[in-house]
């Protein structure tokens, strides 16, 4: 009985687990530490969702399938996110275990991350990792199997905004080596008309050309069953024009963004010890030109990191991990400054498979050449109340150190800045209900986060960052997942889950509905400015309310999604004196898979902003109205 119950609990995880795309059924192991993994994982966007958006960049996916708010400066333009009212630099984006936030400004631009590169995206709202006041997002690539195998696929996509994109995948593997590479090309005009209420006329976005070349490659080498080495390389080169805002007369702004990310990692297992060693190197180069303002600026930065994680496993229930990381961020352009960091952390997890308690704790101390940082810690607990109902709670203390630009930008950098310090707590209920052919998973979370010395850029002619605010974010988040298995009998579904067959079986003829709801109050509670009218007011560009829903019908060969999102008022000023109106959007995504022997053809169509609503994510940056897109992908395996 327990075994069946446990299996039922695993349904959502398995449904979203990372499988190799196979047509033939293969038995795979149930993923280890399922319960423990769910201790801090809040939301994972899986391959079947990502595949509907494989021609888009990640900002579109996150705007729909998470509680994040995406601050979008226009189609194909800068897109940053806010988790629970965080600033963009407070959320880390992690790829193969290393942070890939730009070392200069600390942000990640999700319009530069092709969805097709990733097999899943996980959003962690709570803060169990360093420098992650606003949580972190893990970009995961497909796990590889050491089989003799190869596959190739190519895809092309056209969008009515005169946008084109394509990608090419190649994978080859044998018993010792796996090689994967993917190239993504985008050439987008982003041309669309809109009602310009400022100029009181029908206007057109014209200066919005986006050209991007990206390549992501990995080589995995199995030295023996206990020792594996992998090298990952991600190169990205993007040129894009920045269109004028509605209130600007003209724009000749352009930017060129070049990034090289490399990670070398080694996984070694000796008895009860596991060692994970990582060497990372990131090169970020940014050039901005504006021929009207006669600006041409270039900045680049190198980031080197080395980390070692040593994990000791005692039975199936206890793991202790000791981690040490050393990194340096060095500016290659003026003023040639750097930040060197060394941190050591200890994590301990207890995850008894059949007991009621699941506990994880972490302590961390970091030393830098610039700041004195506090010892931070976190504690997460999960308690099985009854059958498939869990209570979860966590508390943590965290920080974010100022970025290189915040400290040294010329003009305006402020070397007197202090790190932001946060105290966080959250609690919630998660439930999994399975009845006949219906599966419902629910997550309800209440949270509070208090950030001291919040860094805010402000100014007129010269922008300067200041530690001026104490911000209190609190709110409620809900995530509901409902699946109706149309054809299958409950016993078949359970049987399949126990055996954990391929994704294809689990997705056969289902109706799948998802709801994300968030209510977030993020208000400043203290300020060093005299007569500050922002006290008690919502911080800019953080909506209080967001609702995102999707309903999908899926068979082996066909998938149709209907998506609805609502975003509430967002304030432009800290005293709530000016704001943007709420907006809602409707989208339809349809895809069809046609298989002919070893060839697969996947046809896709999307209709975005179905009701042609005019809306702005950021002021003056009107997003596209209704648009249609078609795509085709051909695979050989």
Query: Of residues 361, 575, 586, 626, which one binds another protein by CB under 8 A?
Result: 575
Residue the block writes with tokens 């990670």: 263
- Quick count: other Cβ atoms within 10 Å of Cβ 207? 16
Beta bridge partners of 622: 616
- CB nearer to another protein: pick between 37 and 576: 576
If phi > 0 it is left, if psi is from -120 to 50 it is alpha, else beta; for residue 575 that is alpha
Element (H, E) at 159: strand 149-159
| Residue 457: CB minimum distance to another protein, A | 8
Distance CA 288, CA 602 (A): 38
Q: Which stretch binds another protein (CB under 8 A): 52-60, 100-108, 260-268, 456-464?
A: 456-464
Label residue 279 exposed, middle or buried (CB < 10 Å: 0-12, 13-18, 19+): middle
| Contact letters for another protein, residues 11-50 (x by CB under 8 A) | ----------------------------------------
- CB nearer to another protein: pick between 114 and 428: 428
Q: Distance of alpha carbon 420 from its chain centroid, rounded? A: 22
Q: Which stretch binds another protein (CB under 8 A): 326-334, 411-419, 547-555, 622-630?
A: 411-419
Distance CA 93, CA 70 (A): 14
| Residue 83: CB minimum distance to another protein, A | 18
Distance CA 133, CA 86 (A): 7
Q: Which stretch binds another protein (CB under 8 A): 115-123, 209-217, 286-294, 301-309?
A: 286-294
Distance CA 139, CA 129 (A): 15
Q: Which stretch binds another protein (CB under 8 A): 159-167, 226-234, 291-299, 356-364?
A: 291-299
State both tokens at 111: 């319009």
Q: Looking only at residues 139 through 158 of this chain, which bind another protein when binding is defined by CB under 8 A?
A: none
How many amino acids of this chain bind another protein (CB under 8 A)?
58
393 makes contact with another protein (CB under 8 A)? no
First to last CA, the chain: 40
Q: Count of alpha carbons within 13 Å of 31, Cβ hemisphere only?
A: 18
- CB nearer to another protein: pick between 243 and 568: 568
- CB nearer to another protein: pick between 463 and 594: 463
| Contact letters for another protein, residues 470-509 (x by CB under 8 A) | ----xxx---------------------------------
Distance CA 544, CA 538 (A): 8
- CB nearer to another protein: pick between 537 and 637: 537
Contacts of 144 (CB under 8 A, 6+ apart): 173, 178, 180, 218, 220
| Residue 561: CB minimum distance to another protein, A | 27
Q: Which stretch binds another protein (CB under 8 A): 97-105, 169-177, 193-201, 314-322?
A: 193-201
| Residue 293: CB minimum distance to another protein, A | 6
Q: Are strands 583-596 and 545-554 parallel, antiparallel or unpaired?
A: unpaired
Distance CA 508, CA 485 (A): 8
3-state SS of 280-300?
Answer: EEEEEEEEEEECCCCEEEEEE
- CB nearer to another protein: pick between 545 and 562: 545
Query: Of residues 574, 609, 617, 635, which one binds another protein by CB under 8 A?
Result: 574
- CB nearer to another protein: pick between 370 and 444: 444
Name which of 426, 430, 469 is nearest 451 in CA terms.
Answer: 469
Q: Which stretch binds another protein (CB under 8 A): 201-209, 246-254, 266-274, 352-360?
A: 246-254
| Contact letters for another protein, residues 594-633 (x by CB under 8 A) | -------------------------xx-------------
204 makes contact with another protein (CB under 8 A)? no
245 makes contact with another protein (CB under 8 A)? yes
197 makes contact with another protein (CB under 8 A)? yes
175-184 b/e with 16+ CB inside 10 Å = b?
Answer: eeebbbebbb
Distance CA 475, CA 571 (A): 17
State both tokens at 145: 């199997």
519 makes contact with another protein (CB under 8 A)? yes
456 makes contact with another protein (CB under 8 A)? yes
Query: Of residues 350, 511, 551, 572, which one binds another protein by CB under 8 A?
Result: 572
Q: Are 134 and 80 in contact (CB under 8 A)?
A: no
Query: Of residues 105, 191, 466, 602, which one binds another protein by CB under 8 A?
Result: 466
In angstroms and rounded to an integer, the radius of gyration of the C-alpha atoms of the chain is: 24
468 makes contact with another protein (CB under 8 A)? yes
Q: Are 45 and 67 in contact (CB under 8 A)?
A: no
DSSP single-letter state for residue 409: -
Q: Looking only at residues 433 through 452 of this chain, which bind another protein when binding is defined by CB under 8 A?
A: 444, 446
| Residue 621: CB minimum distance to another protein, A | 9
Q: Looking only at residues 529 through 548 of this chain, which bind another protein when binding is defined by CB under 8 A?
A: 529-534, 538, 540, 544-545
402 makes contact with another protein (CB under 8 A)? no
Binding site residues, another protein, CB under 8 A: 197-198, 200, 245-250, 292-294, 410-412, 414, 416, 429, 444, 446, 456, 458-460, 462, 464, 466, 468, 474-476, 519, 521, 528-534, 538, 540, 544-545, 568-569, 571-579, 582, 619-620
């Amino acid at each position: 009985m327990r075994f069946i119950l446990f299996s039922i609990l695993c349904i959502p995880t398995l449904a979203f687990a990372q499988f190799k795309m196979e047509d033939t059924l293969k038995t795979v192991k149930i993923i280890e530490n399922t319960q423990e993994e769910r201790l801090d994982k809040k939301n994972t966007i899986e391959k079947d969702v990502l595949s509907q958006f494989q021609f888009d960049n990640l900002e579109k996916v996150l705007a729909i399938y998470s509680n994040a708010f995406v601050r979008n400066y226009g189609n194909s333009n800068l897109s940053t996110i806010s988790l629970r009212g965080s600033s963009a630099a407070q959320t880390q984006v992690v790829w193969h275990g290393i942070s890939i936030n730009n070392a200069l400004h600390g942000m990640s631009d999700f319009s530069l991350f092709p969805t097709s590169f990733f097999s899943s995206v996980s959003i962690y709202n709570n803060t169990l990792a360093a420098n992650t006041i606003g949580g972190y997002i893990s970009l995961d690539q497909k796990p590889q199997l050491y089989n003799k195998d190869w596959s190739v696929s190519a895809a092309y996509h056209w969008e009515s905004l005169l946008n084109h994109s394509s990608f090419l995948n190649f994978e080859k593997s044998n018993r010792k080596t796996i090689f994967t590479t993917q190239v993504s090309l985008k050439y987008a005009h982003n041309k669309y008309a809109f009602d310009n209420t400022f100029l009181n006329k029908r206007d057109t976005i014209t200066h919005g050309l986006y050209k991007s070349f990206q390549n992501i490659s990995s080589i995995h080498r199995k030295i023996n069953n206990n020792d594996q080495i992998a090298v990952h390389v991600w190169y990205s080169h993007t040129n894009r024009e920045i269109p004028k805002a509605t209130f600007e007369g003209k724009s000749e702004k352009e930017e060129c963004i070049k990034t090289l990310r490399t990670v070398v990692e080694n996984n070694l297992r000796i008895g009860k010890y596991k060692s994970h060693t990582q060497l990372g190197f990131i090169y970020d180069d940014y050039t901005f030109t504006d021929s009207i303002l006669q600006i041409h600026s270039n900045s680049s930065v190198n980031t080197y990191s080395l980390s070692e994680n040593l994990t000791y496993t005692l039975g199936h229930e206890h793991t202790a991990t000791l981690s040490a990381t050393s990194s340096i961020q060095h500016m290659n352009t003026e003023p040639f400054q750097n930040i060197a960091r060394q941190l050591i952390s200890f994590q301990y997890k207890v995850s008894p498979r059949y007991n009621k308690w699941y506990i994880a704790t972490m302590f961390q101390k970091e030393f830098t050449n610039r700041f004195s940082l506090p010892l931070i810690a976190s504690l997460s607990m999960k308690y099985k109340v009854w059958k498939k109902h869990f209570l979860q709670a966590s508390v943590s203390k965290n920080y974010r150190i100022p970025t290189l630009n915040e400290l040294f930008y010329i003009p305006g950098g402020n070397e007197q800045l202090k790190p932001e310090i946060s105290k966080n707590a959250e609690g919630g209920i998660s439930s999994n209900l399975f009845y006949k052919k219906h599966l419902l998973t629910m997550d309800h979370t209440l949270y509070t986060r208090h950030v001291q010395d919040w860094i805010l850029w402000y100014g007129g002619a010269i922008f300067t960052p200041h530690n001026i605010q104490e911000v209190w974010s609190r709110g409620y988040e809900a995530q509901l997942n409902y699946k109706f298995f149309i054809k299958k009998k409950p016993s078949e579904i359970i049987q399949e889950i126990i055996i954990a067959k391929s994704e294809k079986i689990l997705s056969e003829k289902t109706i799948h509905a998802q709801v994300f709801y968030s209510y977030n109050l993020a208000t400043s509670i203290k300020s060093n400015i005299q007569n500050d009218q922002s006290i008690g007011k919502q911080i800019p560009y953080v909506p209080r309310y967001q609702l995102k829903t999707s309903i999908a019908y899926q068979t082996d060969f066909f998938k149709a999604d209907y998506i609805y999102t609502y975003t509430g008022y967002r304030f432009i000023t800290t005293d709530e004196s000016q704001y943007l109106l709420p907006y809602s959007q409707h989208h339809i995504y349809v895809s069809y898979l046609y298989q002919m022997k070893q060839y697969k053809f996947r046809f896709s169509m999307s209709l975005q902003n179905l009701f042609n609503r005019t809306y702005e994510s950021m002021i003056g940056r009107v997003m596209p109205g209704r648009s249609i897109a078609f795509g085709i992908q051909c695979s050989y395996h």
